[in-house]
């Protein structure tokens, strides 16, 4: 065995993100698809009650329920807190079978295409991202290293946690094209991990373009917290495109345009994600990073 | 006053269809927008608890809860049944203020664009549809005269009930472009009703193309009722386009193509609507009708 012994592929962390739910089901029915010689792969349906109900979560967002204090706090006993503790005991770092890599499959109503979300910028992580981009230049890489997701997400249980975030697709909808492209991406990642274990990773130029989280922007709201404006039509579905100071950002219900008032060009992602209204996030702003990996 | 005395504009019949929810809110805050001299207009948030929870419904689909027997059955007392009875008492035919026209605003994850759903093919109804199409050729008209919707939908409470069905937009998402185009459509309908009351409707050629409901098609399922295939990528978002015998219809999770096996060309609508998975509807098939209105 190589350095990576156990990999977990996770679907249904959010119950209404169907691509992950059905990919998990496919891999459970045909486990050889995700097996590789040098490591073992398990597949996990993270939130079965939310999947059955067709909702994101039952009591609270499971993918914000894995920070260390929550997992240790025995007084937290709602469904997702219990489920987080259970998953931690199955595959977490103190379990009998800790996983080295987690691939957590998500989908979004935003136009993220095929996005690999990375929570750290370690050389291992960036090299994997670079490899994927080399094989498919359409793959986007989003670094949340400054957003805190490395502390509370399900994928934070592994040494190397990755989120596959694909869209746009409505909650509760299976999109066949995205389903197939996500499956191909998973196979490519598993092949890379196999090569890594065997010290046979292809030598590449190792250039990489990725987008690093800077901040979130909320919808304009009134004193009661009610939304006062929508994403401007010119910004809708324009994830990863440059937003310049003075560009249209929101549109009020009366047709008034609200401009982006920042000083520097940014690259918004998760524009108009359905599940983020309640989190008071209209979009996340990122900076674009172009780098060449050393060593 | 003319023949039409009261009009109701309804939003939030399904709590996660945001365009109707926010148009209702806008019209409540600025009621003069929807007033016309010859009739009174009221606006109604149909399912406030579902809106607050961000879900389609609490206990059952409100827009399938208006058939006469249900409304009369006092033993039915879940939230939507109670709400249906309450709305019937406010604006139904036996109320103190029965409405003549209902415009019920819905949205869909399918690519229906701006669709006017009509539940009857009376001359009044077809003339209104023809007028709207004359002003905006992108408007589609879908007749459910053979689907039973005239018996159980909220809009069935009025003599003339119309559903505005706009998409594609994910559940829980506000799309600014669709919001604005839906608002324009509502103003156009109100203007038409005003002209109708004043006997000043523009003389038109009265040609009309519409799509008449034929049947529903479910997803392929296994013995447990689990979905075995997805909408084929070539059919996704192709609402109102011709589907010929032998065209791809579904794609299994293993990549097998399932063909449309019908004998005649049809025009699918509501392709991959999120809320219809539980209703076992992958799409509705329609026939295309091109007609010229007499008289």
ipTM given for this complex:
0.93
Confidence of residue A295 (pLDDT cuts 50, 70, 90): low
- Catalytic residue (choose from B165, B183, B194, B273): B165
User: Is B155 one of the annotated binding-site residues?
Assistant: no
Q: Which of A176, A233, A277 sits opposite B230 (nearest CB)?
A: A176
Class for domain B6-209, per CATH?
alpha beta
In this predicted model, what pLDDT tens digit does every residue of A91-113 receive, in sequence order? Answer: 999 999 999 999 999 999 999 99
Q: Compare B166 and B77 and report the one with higher pLDDT.
A: B166
**B174·A230 Cβ contact <8 A:** yes
DSSP reduced 3-state for B23 = helix
In this predicted model, what pLDDT tens digit does every residue of A235-265 receive, in sequence order? Answer: 999 999 999 999 999 999 999 999 999 999 9
> Quick check: B34 pLDDT over 60?
yes
User: Any chain B CB within 8 A of the CB of A72?
Assistant: no
Order across the sheet with B229-231: list the strands. Answer: B229-231, B248-252, B257-259
**B236·A174 Cβ contact <8 A:** no
The confidence score (pLDDT) of residue A203 equals 72
Give bridge partners of residue B274 from the DSSP assignment.
none
The confidence score (pLDDT) of residue A206 equals 78
Instruction: With beta carbons less than 8 A apart as the criterion, state whether A181 and A113 touch.
Output: no
Can you give the pTM of this predicted structure?
A: 0.95
- The pair of three-digit structure tokens given for residue B102, joined into one six-digit string: 């209902």
Sorted by where each begins, the domain ranges of chain B are 6-209, 214-267+275-283
Closest-CA distance of chain B to residue A43, Å: 17
Cα–Cα distance between A159 and A152 in angstroms, integer? 14
Region B192-219: what's the mean pLDDT? 92
Active site residue B165: yes
Q: Which of A34-38, A203-207, A271-275, B47-51 has the lowest mean pLDDT?
A: A203-207
Instruction: With beta carbons less than 8 A apart as the criterion, state whether B192 and B38 touch.
Output: no
Q: Which of A231, A251, A253 sits opposite B26 (nearest CB)?
A: A253
**A177·B236 Cβ contact <8 A:** yes
What's the start-to-end Cα distance of chain B, in Å? 24
| Chain A residues touching residue B54 (CB < 8 angstroms) | 277-278
| Chain A residues touching residue B277 (CB < 8 angstroms) | 54, 172
The confidence score (pLDDT) of residue A207 equals 87
Closest-CA distance of chain B to residue A173, Å: 5
Q: Does domain B214-267+275-283 have CATH number 3.30.70.20?
A: no
Map tokens 């060009």 to a residue.
A265
The confidence score (pLDDT) of residue A63 equals 98
> Quick check: B241 pLDDT over 80?
yes
Confidence of residue B2 (pLDDT cuts 50, 70, 90): low
The string of DSSP letters for chain A reads: --S--EEEEEE-SSTT-HHHHHHHHHHHHSGGGG-BTTBEEEEEES-HHHHHHTSS-SSS-GGG---HHHHH-TT--SHHHHHHHHHHHHHSTTSSS--SEEEEEEE-SS--EEEEEES---HHHHHHHHHHHHH-TT-EEEE-TTTTHHHHSGGGGSSEEEEEEEES--TT---HHHHHHHHHHHHHHHHHHHHHHTT-PPP---EEEEEEEEEEEPPPB-TTS-B-EEE-TTTTT-TTS-B-TT-EEEEETTS-EEE---SS-BEEESTT-GGGTTTT-SEEEEEEEEEE---
């Amino acid at each position: 065995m190589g350095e990576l012994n156990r990999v977990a592929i996770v679907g249904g962390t959010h119950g209404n993100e169907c691509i992950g739910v059905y990919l998990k089901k496919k891999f459970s029915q045909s486990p050889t698809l995700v097996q590789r010689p040098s490591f073992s792969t398990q597949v996990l349906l993270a939130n079965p009650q939310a999947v059955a109900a067709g909702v994101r979560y039952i009591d609270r967002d499971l993918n914000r329920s894995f920070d260390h204090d929550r997992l240790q706090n025995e007084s937290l006993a709602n469904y997702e807190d219990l489920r987080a503790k259970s998953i931690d005991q199955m595959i977490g770092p103190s379990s009998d079978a800790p996983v080295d890599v987690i691939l957590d499959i998500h989908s979004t109503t935003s136009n993220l295409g095929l996005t690999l979300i990375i929570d750290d910028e370690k050389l291992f992580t960036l090299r994997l991202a670079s490899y994927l981009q080399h094989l498919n230049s359409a793959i986007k890489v989003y670094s949340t290293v400054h957003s805190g997701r490395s502390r509370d997400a399900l994928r934070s249980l592994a040494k190397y946690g990755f989120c596959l975030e694909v869209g746009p697709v409505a909650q509760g909808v299976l999109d066949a094209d995205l389903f197939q492209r996500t499956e191909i991406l998973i196979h490519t990642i598993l092949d890379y991990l196999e090569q890594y274990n065997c010290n046979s990773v292809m030598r590449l130029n190792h250039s990489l373009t990725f987008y690093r989280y800077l901040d979130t922007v909320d919808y304009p709201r009134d004193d009661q917290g009610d939304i006062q404006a929508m994403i401007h039509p010119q910004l809708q579905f324009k994830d990863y495109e440059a937003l310049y100071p003075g560009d249209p950002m929101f549109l009020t219900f009366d047709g008034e345009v609200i401009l982006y008032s920042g000083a520097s060009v940014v690259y918004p992602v998760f524009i108009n994600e359905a599940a983020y209204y309640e989190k008071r996030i209209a979009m996340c702003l990122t900076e674009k990073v172009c780098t060449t990996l050393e060593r």
